[in-house]
Every structure is written in C-alpha cells, then in structure tokens.
C-alpha cells in the first residue's frame, strides 16, 4: 500500500477548514442527493473554503463520493481535500478492517474484505491522510441522541415522539427503549444498527422518517463540532435555520446566489483545473470578500441572503464602465429598494455594511466575478494548472494590473550570510539577463514601505523559494516568524516550490526544512569547500534553479 503524507488535525494552519457533510452516504440517501448535486456542492465548497475534510468512511460507503473523488482527483492529490481517520489507526488499510469489525452486518460496504482492501488502497493512492484525535464520534452521537429524546424543541426526536404518540405512558416506554439503544450498543451508532430495533418497537409510521433525518443531522453537527470546523450545508445539521456567521460556507446559500447571478451552471461545469485557476484568481478573492461581508449584512436582519445579490447587481449595472462613489451607489440602491416596495430605512445597517465592502474593495466585484466565470470553459485536463492572466475592471473603465505571475525566485537568507547571497546572485545573473528568471530579496524593499506586505507580495509572486540555510539562518527570529510560515504555507498548497542550499553546518534536521529538496549535499555545506569547489557547486545550483522554473 502507498504511504500517504500525514497531516494531524492540530497541524492544520489554514484558517477555514470545512466538513463535507454531503459526502456521507446516509445523508445522500436521506436528502435524495444525486451525483450531480453532490459534485456541484463540492465545487462550491472548494471555492469558498481553504480546505475540505471528510471521513474516510464516506469513501468506503458511497459510490457517489468515490465518483466525485475520482472526477476531481487532482484536488485531493494537492491536499486541498482530505479524508480523515483517527490518529491511533496505522493507515487506511487498518481503518477499513476496523470498520468491518465495528459496523453492523447489514452494512454492505464492509461485507467483502477484498473490496474493503481495494478501497483502502484507492484512498492511500491520493497521497494524503488526515489524522484526528482518537475519540469515538459514535459515543458523542449516542450522548446527543439521549439528550434529543428528552427535548421538546421543534425538530428534535423528543418533539417528534410527542407529536406522534399522544399517550404519555407509551411515550415514556418509547423514550426508554430508544435511550437503551444508545446505552447498550456495541457497534457504531448508525442507522443500520438502529433501524431493526425501531421496527421491533412497532413505532407509529410517522416516526421513522423524522428519527432517521434527525440522526443524520446529529452525525453531521457532532462531527463538525468535534473537529472544530464549519459545515458545508446547514440543512444537514441541527443548527439555526437562519442566515448567520456559519452561513459563510453554506453551499446551498452560495449556489442559490450563483443562480441569481446566472452563474450556477457555469461554475458546476468547471473541471478541477479551471476550479484551481478560478480559486487562485483576483476576481474570486475579491468577490468572496464581498460575499462574506454580505453575509454579515443579512445576518443583522435575519433576511434571506439570496435577495441581496440580485438587488446589488441591478443597482451596480449602470456603473460598469464609469466612475461611481459610495454616495451615488447609495442613491441608486435606495431608489431600487423603493421601486421594489421595500422600506429602505430598515435596511440602513445592512446597506452600510454592503457599501463598506464596496468602498473597501473599490471595484465592482460582482461584475468582475461574473465576467470571469463566463469566460472560463470546462477543462478535460486533470493534472495541469493554467496560469492564464485574468484582468479585472476598475472604476473609470480601466484595467487592474494583472495578478502577480509566479515567475520569480524568492531568496530568504540571514543578514549574516549576505556574502553568500551575493555569490549566488553572481551565478544567477546570466539567467536574469536572458529573461529566464528574476530574483526577489528583501533588498528590493524600498525605504518607507510596509516591509511585511512587501515580503508577502514577494512570496506571492514567486514560483521558487530558495532558502540559504545556516546556523545564523535558523537562529533568526525574523525569518522564523515572518518568512518561513508564509513560505511553508505556499509550498504546502503547491503555489511555490521550496528549495534550499546548505551554506554552513546547522541543525536543519530538527526543522521542517528537512522535508524539502536541497540543491546541494547538506553533508557538504558550501562554507566547508574551497573557492573553486564553491564556484563549481554554485554553477550546478544555478542550473537546477533554472530547470525548476521550466
């Protein structure tokens, strides 16, 4: 079996990780989700979130989930989407065998050991595995189940029992029987385990459906909560039906907004390559910032967010190619609200928030986003990422400068090793002169500019990051705090290729740098060589950097 790269839950540094509830087979069956719908919501989630996670059991149990994984395989191979198992389980193979032992015999996904091993190998071939803490999700689901039985809140199992069983003594017997299911279980607390017991209890016909629905929602909500993540479709959980902060990653809401903008079909038809390109674009970055600001605005009034995007689009249509300011946009928005019979006064606060996002971005982000998506076409390529230039319109009808292309070599070094930087640049100079590469270092930061932002921009525009590693380099608090985290994150997302040069003896083996390719033999640092040997080695290093840019 392939040994995939391991990531532990506590090591995830991206700010927004979202749980993929739509990948769960019981949820798919319960909500009647088709393969096309699951794929569409996965694509929407990919555009909204930094990373997607799902249980490995999703892959074993759902034909639809396997089809989605196969069609968008490059996203899983990049580590943008991860399947998790608990940290005490050796690998996917062991996980599959444990699932066979813990799952009810009625679960066909784990009946054939050879098929389970095949699925395990398929998961391993994706190249990544996420390890979560080894708590039992089923234990938490069972505890939640018992609390739900005792509740009278609308939507709970207790409420459904109260509505369907008028006799109080019978209700108590049913609640006691359902509680014992959770307390005496020896297998995973799943529907295949619960269903036979419910049938044996001769429950009213109207109870089976609500109980099954509630169990699925409890699973999604409990799992997302334990992992500390948001959830992709709030309708799959037990939370509030209103738009709130958790709605940022609700793909139901996002796709409804895309429908109102006429973009739903275009987005769901994109292949993996175009999804990667779109996600990396300036247009999506700006639109997503606006969209999240819009969520905050509608949260204030508990309104339906789907009504705001069409209103905004209509109000902005007249300003696509000419100057507009917030005051003019406010007048147009107010006039539009009045023409639609809405009281503009009650929308004052959401309107202020909307206008704030409009002013802060200083761009008609909706129009730009629409134009970009409409320009894109589905791609059949699976492992090739386009680096097309994507211009966006700014006020006054001009064009915004292109997003920085990743063609530079970003060099990170300690000031004590400045002489080594000079020597390396001497050997890179012919390549720069021929236009084959350009070099960025902190020496390119102009006096008086915000150096942190300049460093971020330097890394963002780089295709290769080269570290000049020495004991002084590893000793630098500035490098450790401000440069390496950005470089490692970009390398993890495959946005930049990380290479390093062993300048002098150091404890690089105790750092994350050791995971990446060195351009010279770390056992033979440059500082321990004679000058002719150094020059020969630097020539080879320069050639390797050139080859890495191709």
**How would residue 524 be classed by pLDDT, with cut points 50, 70 and 90?**
very high
Is-contact 248 297, C-beta < 8 A? no
What pLDDT, in 10s, does the model give residues 130-163? 888 777 778 888 888 888 888 877 778 888 888 8
- Let me know: does 194 contact 215? Beta carbons within 8 Å: yes
3-class SS string, 106-167: CCHHHCCHHHHHHHHHHHHCCCEEEEECCCCHHHHHHHHHHHHHCCCCCCCHHHHHHHHCCC
CA atoms of 158 and 152, how far apart (whole Å): 5
- Correct CATH for 408-549 of 3.40.50.300, 3.90.1300.10, 3.30.930.10, 3.40.50.10140: 3.40.50.10140
213-232 pLDDT tens trace: 888 888 888 888 887 888 88
Determine the average pLDDT of the residues in 317-341: 58
**Domain extent listing, the chain:** 5-134, 138-236, 245-375, 408-549
Contact 8, 227 (CB under 8 A): no
Dihedral sign of CA atoms 505, 508, 513, 518 in order:
positive
pTM, 2 dp: 0.58
- The pair phi, psi for residue 390, each rounded to 5°, is -120, 95
**How far is it, in rounded angstroms, from Cα 35 to Cα 65?**
8
In this prediction, residue 521 carries a pLDDT of: 92
Q: What is the overall mean pLDDT for the chain?
A: 78
Mean pLDDT of 360-377: 62
Q: How far apart are CA 224 and CA 230, in angstroms?
A: 6
């Amino acid at each position: 079996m392939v040994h995939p790269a391991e990531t532990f839950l506590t090591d995830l540094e991206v700010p927004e990780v979202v749980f993929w509830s739509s990948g769960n087979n019981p949820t798919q069956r319960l909500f009647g989700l088709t393969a096309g719908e699951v794929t569409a919501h996965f694509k929407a989630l990919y555009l909204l979130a930094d990373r997607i996670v799902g249980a490995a059991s999703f892959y074993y149990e759902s034909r639809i989930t396997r089809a989605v994984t196969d069609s968008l395989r490059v996203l899983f191979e990049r580590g943008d989407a991860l399947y998790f198992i608990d940290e005490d389980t050796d690998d996917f193979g062991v996980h599959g065998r444990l699932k066979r032992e813990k799952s009810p015999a009625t679960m066909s996904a784990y009946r054939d050991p050879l098929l389970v091993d095949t699925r395990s190998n398929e998961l391993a071939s994706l190249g990544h595995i996420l390890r979560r803490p080894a708590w039992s999700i089923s234990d938490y689901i069972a505890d939640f189940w018992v609390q739900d039985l005792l509740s009278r809140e609308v939507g709970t199992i207790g409420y459904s029992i109260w509505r369907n069983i008028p006799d109080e003594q019978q209700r108590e017997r049913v609640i006691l029987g359902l509680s014992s299911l959770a307390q005496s279980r020896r297998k995973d607390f799943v529907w295949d385990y619960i269903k036979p017991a419910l049938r044996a209890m001769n429950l009213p016909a109207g109870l089976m459906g609500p109980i099954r629905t509630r169990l699925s929602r409890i699973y999604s909500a409990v799992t997302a909560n334990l992992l500390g993540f948001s959830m992709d479709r709030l309708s799959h959980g037990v939370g509030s039906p209103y738009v709130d902060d958790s709605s940022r990653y609700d793909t139901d809401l996002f796709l409804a907004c895309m429908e109102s903008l006429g973009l739903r079909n275009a987005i769901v038809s994109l292949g993996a390559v175009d999804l990667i390109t779109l996600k990396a674009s300036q247009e999506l970055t700006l639109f997503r910032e606006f969209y999240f600001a819009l969520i905050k605005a509608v949260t204030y009034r508990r309104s339906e967010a789907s009504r705001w995007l069409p209103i905004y689009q209509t109000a902005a249509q007249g300003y696509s190619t000419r100057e507009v300011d917030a005051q003019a946009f406010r007048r147009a928005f107010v006039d539009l609200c009045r023409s639609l019979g809405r009281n503009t006064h009650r929308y004052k606060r959401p309107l202020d928030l909307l206008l704030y996002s409009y002013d802060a971005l200083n761009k008609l982000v909706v129009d730009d986003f629409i134009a970009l998506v409409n320009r894109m076409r589905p791609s059949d390529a699976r492992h090739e990422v386009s680096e097309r230039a994507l211009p966006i319109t700014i006020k006054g009808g001009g064009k915004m400068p292109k997003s920085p292309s990743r063609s530079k070599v970003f060099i990170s070094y300690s000031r004590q090793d400045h002489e080594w930087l000079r020597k390396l640049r001497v050997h890179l100079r012919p390549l720069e002169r021929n236009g084959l590469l350009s070099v960025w270092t902190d020496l390119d930061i102009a006096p008086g500019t915000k150096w942190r932002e300049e460093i971020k921009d330097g890394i963002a525009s780089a295709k290769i990051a080269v570290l000049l590693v020495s004991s002084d380099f590893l000793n630098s608090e500035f490098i450790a705090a401000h440069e390496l985290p950005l470089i490692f994150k970009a390398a993890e997302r495959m946005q930049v290729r990380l290479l390093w040069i062993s300048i002098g003896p150091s404890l690089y083996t105790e750092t994350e740098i050791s995971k990446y390719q060195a351009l010279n033999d770390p056992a033979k640092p440059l500082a321990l060589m004679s000058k002719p040997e150094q020059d020969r080695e630097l020539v080879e290093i320069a050639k390797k950097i050139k080859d890495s840019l191709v």
